[in-house]
Amino acid sequence: MDLEITRHVMEVPDLRHRVRQLRWFKTSFRQHARLVGQHYGLAVRVDETRLTEAFLNWAERFSADKDYARLDRRDFVTFTGGLLLRELLQLHPVEVEASTATGMPTLQQTPNWAIVHDWPEGFISTNYCLSILAAVLEQEGMPLTIPALANDLRTWWSYRENVGEDPSRAIAFLDLFTGTEPNWYMPDSVASRTAIKRALQAKVVPDSVTTEVAV
């Protein structure tokens, strides 16, 4: 999967903190949506109110769970990327008004064309979260490798269907798309994640983390 905005934000200093700022987040998301739209011939509109609500919901949950970052930083960063994706897919700030790529064979031969054509709104939000996640991890010396199944149309069909039934499954699918073991049963529980449970069981636990591990 071509992570559209990664190269544009890689040089942003201290990206992991910048992305927590509402103004920066909204600007970068709009830029990303525009880049994807231009690349795939889509007329994209972003609803500012819904985008703001998605960010605020995510920021509240991030603040509640942030102490878990000290247990396994990479896994926690991946989890928070999934939380953001859930909010974006649940609140639908992206609207694709039309496609200008119909009948344009060059665009239709680009990677991910079938996925984008099938679910453009989902692709834009997912690609944004993966792009920012990849850039943050790269800055922290933990480069991200996207597995081949992230480009599989049938996987995206399942992804869309599952998120339609339960938006929290977006977290599990982001795990899948990053090569992380998904938690399909309690995807929005940070304490139930394999890496976090392993750290807790090893008693590498900050004093402020008191949440009981889900079995």
Query: Over the stretch 6-37, which tens digit does the pLDDT of each residue have?
Result: 777 878 888 999 999 999 999 999 999 999 99
| Assigned domain for 159 exists | yes
How distant, in Å, are the alpha carbons of 58, 59, 79 from that of 62?
A: 6, 5, 10
Q: Which domain holds residue 37?
A: 6-189
Inform me whether the pLDDT recorded for 5 exceeds 80: no
Tens-place pLDDT, residues 80-136: 999 999 999 999 999 998 666 554 555 556 668 899 999 999 999 999 999 999 999
What pLDDT does 41 receive?
87
> Which amino acid belongs to residue 46?
V
How large is the greatest C-alpha to C-alpha distance in the chain, in angstroms? 60
| Assigned domain for 214 exists | no
- Count structural domains, the chain: 1
| Assigned domain for 200 exists | no
Task: Provide DSSP, 154-199.
Answer: HHHHHHHHHHHH-TTHHHHHHHHHTTPPP-SSSTT-GGGSHHHHHH
Residues 6+ apart with CB under 8 A from 24: 18
| Assigned domain for 173 exists | yes
Q: Mean pLDDT over all residues of the chain?
A: 89
| Assigned domain for 176 exists | yes
CB 133 within 8 A of CB 178: yes
| Assigned domain for 158 exists | yes
| Assigned domain for 1 exists | no
> What radius of gyration do the chain's Cα atoms show?
17
| Assigned domain for 209 exists | no
Tens-place pLDDT, residues 144-187: 999 999 999 999 999 999 999 999 999 999 999 999 999 999 99
